[in-house]
Amino acid sequence: MTISHLKTAKPEAERAEDDARVRATVEATLADIEGRGDAAVAELSAKFDGVSRPSFRLTQSEIEAAMAKVSARNMEDIRFAQTQIRRFAEAQRASMTDIEIETLPGVILGHKNIPVQSVGCYVPGGKFPMVASAHMSVLTATVAGVPRIVASAPPHKGEPHPAIVAAMHLGGAHEIYVLGGIQAVGAMAIGTETIEPVHMLVGPGNAFVAEAKRQLYGRVGIDLFAGPTETMVIADDTVDAELCATDLLGQAEHGYNSPAALITNSRRLAEDTIAEVDRLLAILPTAETAATSWHDYGEVILCDTHEEMLQVANDMSYEHVQVMTDRDDWYLQEMHSYGALFLGPRTNVANGDKVIGTNHTLPTKKAGRYTGGLWVGKFLKTHSYQRITSDEAATQIGEYGSRLCILEGFVGHAEQCNIRVRRYGGRNVPYGVAAE
């Protein structure tokens, strides 16, 4: 077994230092929002977004004015994308059914899937206006039946971004705010004098937004830790370097700290891809960002076998995993830790990001080991219930429950069972003693 790195990323120690600085900034900012409410949010917006407004919530007339600026072609494209995303989300929702069964005569157990009652959807828009993120969060929450959907995105050139506002509105948002970064997620989760707090936060964002969600978790629910985007290409010699390099840089342009990794068993492909990345960076308009990510966070890992490639990929647990090999279905069967798979050379991560129908809010930083991405089920809580409909069932379950409670030393618990055995079973069970 031989696994070698032809290109390595920034050492973990340096990444940890970056994370610590972000963590301290976020902690102080959230404390300021909690202490000063709207005043803190307004100062942060003026400082980081360059916008001051008497209210950060858009009025209906402002929403209509923003949407009027969207071209007919762009509006058509937004509607097409939302149709694809809605279809898949509706199919996912249909797969989640309420159940009720009779496990013993007279013993009824069930569960119900109940929507979260309010959700805050963050849509990034600093460097790039992430119109698609509105579909992925707002629209999916609508399909789930969430009764209050709050959406927020930073301003673009001092104004609400028209296409983002259109996507939020068409997706079903009930409240739309022009706020970015920590101040947006902090205001939605903590609440201010004018913004009612939500029960759950969803959506991707930069390192500061991801850290804010991490610190707010517990006060509110979150979808997952969706930080700076990650992309992995698993490829063999069935594809060429141009395709691999294009797919790596397509995600590296997201930000200055977007990891991109190639895993291959072909030295020729590995070396050619490194050279091709350099060629493309000379002509890519977003090269400044992409080049920094590739330099600091890019990796090229050479393995001997597909089994080694699989092992490395599962261990890294990247957000986006593009598979282009002679055995794509084998990877689909064997991969267990990732955000989303993109199988074969005909599809790509950008399809998933923008239009194909699957959700693009996905786990990063190895969170794919314990969670999948955002989907309609994230907005639903599965709650169980029980009912006993006969005296015989109340007595039978009560007797077992009584003895098991006494086994653990819980006398008060046992008495909850015993009183039912006495009343519905006519049994004279001494107080604080296990039913026989």
Give φ, ψ of 369 to 5 degrees. -75, -25
Q: Has 320 been annotated as catalytic?
A: yes
Chain-centre distance for alpha carbon 247: 22
Q: Which of 169, 175, 176, 178 is nearest to 67 (CA)?
A: 169
Choosing from 169, 254, 320, 360, the catalytic residue is 320
Are the beta carbons of 335 and 284 closer than 8 angstroms? no
Q: Are strands 119-122 and 99-104 parallel, antiparallel or unpaired?
A: unpaired
- Please provide the DSSP assignment of 294-312 as one string: HHHHEEEEEESSHHHHHHH
Helix, strand, coil tally for the chain in percent (to 5): 50, 20, 35
- Please provide the DSSP assignment of 30-59 as one string: HHHHHHHTHHHHHHHIIIII----S-SBPP
Specify which residues 388 forms β-bridges with: 107
* Structure-token pair, residue 91: 């199919």
**Contacts by 323-331, CB closer than 8 A, 24 or more apart:** 323/234, 323/235, 324/233, 324/234, 324/235, 324/236, 324/238, 324/239, 324/243, 324/244, 325/234, 325/235, 325/236, 325/238, 326/236, 326/238, 330/306, 331/234
* Integer Cα distance of 209 and 216 in angstroms: 10
Specify the 3-state DSSP secondary structure of 344: coil
Choosing from 161, 319, 360, 399, the catalytic residue is 319
Specify which residues 151 forms β-bridges with: 121, 176
* Integer Cα distance of 147 and 141 in angstroms: 9
Query: How far is residue 97 from each of residues 185, 358, 383, measured CA to CA in Å?
Result: 31, 20, 12
For the chain, the maximum distance between any two Cα atoms, rounded to a whole number of angstroms, is 87
107-115 sheet: strands from edge to edge: 99-104, 107-115, 380-388
* Integer Cα distance of 175 and 119 in angstroms: 11
Amino acid letter for position 230:
E
* Integer Cα distance of 65 and 130 in angstroms: 20
Specify the 3-state DSSP secondary structure of 381: strand
Q: Has 17 been annotated as catalytic?
A: no
Give the catalytic positions in this structure: 319-320
